[in-house]
Amino acid sequence: MRAAHRFAQDLESWGKLARTESLKIELYGSLAQTGKGHCTDRAILLGLTGETPNQVDPSTIGPKVARVYEHPTLRLLGPTR
């Protein structure tokens, strides 16, 4: 989550956030090995939308991730719909 959030913040600081039309995420090492079993996919989606581990309300994670999967567009550093 932290790495995805930092990546989205970097896009913003480089002036590329608004122009970003698509992302392809490839995981390596331990993140690639654990993946969905350790909720890596959820953490990445939440981080890209601006959530951080110390601020996200655990009770909102399921609905937020569901909304991301329901809509074809991910709002980087923005609220999920």
Indicate the pTM of the whole model. Answer: 0.84
Instruction: Give the whole-angstrom CA distance, residue 69 versus residue 45.
Output: 10
Q: pLDDT at position 80, please?
A: 56
Instruction: Give the whole-angstrom CA distance, residue 20 versus residue 67.
Output: 20
- What is the percent of the chain with per-residue pLDDT over 70, rounded to a whole number? 96
Residue 79 in this model has a pLDDT that exceeds 80: no
Q: pLDDT at position 55, please?
A: 94
Residue 9 in this model has a pLDDT that exceeds 90: yes
- Count of CB atoms situated within 10 Å of the CB of 80: 19
What Cα–Cα distance (Å) separates residue 33 from each residue in 37, 38, 42, 65, 78? 9, 9, 15, 21, 29
Average of per-residue pLDDT across 38-48: 91
Residues 6+ apart with CB under 8 A from 79: 49, 50
For each of the domains in the chain, give its residue range(s) and CATH number, in order of start.
Answer: 2-70 (3.30.1330.90)
Residue 59 in this model has a pLDDT that exceeds 70: yes
